[in-house]
Amino acid sequence: MARFRRAGSDTLNASQPAARVEQIMQYPLYVHRTGDTSFRANFPDFPRAVAHGESMDELKTEAKQAVELMYDRSEQLIPAPTCSTSELQAHEMDDGEGIWMFVDINLARVTSQAVGIQVNLLDTLLQQVDLVARERHMTRSAFITLAVAHELAARYEGQLSCLPVSQRSFVTDAIHGTAPPEN
């Protein structure tokens, strides 16, 4: 669910000017108790973002910061939130020992350098992509991005100088299976 709020205001209004509007999306977060008073949580939509907190309020704050820090200015497309209860309950991170909650993430603070595209795939191929992406704890977009980078790396191996400097390390990382440095 998207909500729009004027910066510094609690009043919601979808018709406010874009320059002064925050885009708030509610993302699911799976929470485990890790001790008598501490919690650990993961987002199914942001696999690299992990949060810890001594209280639920602290956990929510840490979760928001984890998403902002790990995905701001990243090459990854910011995914839409998973909102289907049945899909969340079927997710491998739902081991029956935790609870699902939704956390407001201000997407105005997470600026992806990725560009969204529409791709048509055979249903059976998409099912295989989703299966492998889940096994690797990745989003579908991240998996497809790595597959494209792998194909480009194979094509340009030894010729990476024809790629812009900003893309060379990404393709080289895909060849060697290393992750890009954290921001």
DSSP 39: E
User: Would the pLDDT of 130 be above 60?
Assistant: yes
Q: Which of 1-5, 57-61, 78-82 has the lowest mean pLDDT?
A: 1-5
More confident residue, 6 or 85: 85
Average pLDDT over every residue of 94-109: 87
pLDDT digits (tens, 9 = 90+) for 7-19: 444 444 444 444 4
* DSSP per-residue letters across 88-157: HHHSTT--SSSEEEEEEEEGGG-------------HHHHHHHHHHHHHTT--HHHHHHHHHHHHHHHHHT
Domains of the chain: which residue ranges? 1-114, 117-183
33 compared with 13, residue with greater pLDDT: 33
What is the third-level CATH fold of 1-114? Double Stranded RNA Binding Domain (3.30.160)
Long-range contacts, stretch 50-56, CB < 8 angstroms, 24+ apart? 56/31, 56/101
Cβ(4)–Cβ(16) under 8 Å? yes
| pLDDT score of 29 more than 70 | yes
d(CA 13, CA 17): 10
pTM for the complete prediction?
A: 0.53
- Mean pLDDT score of the chain, rounded to an integer? 75
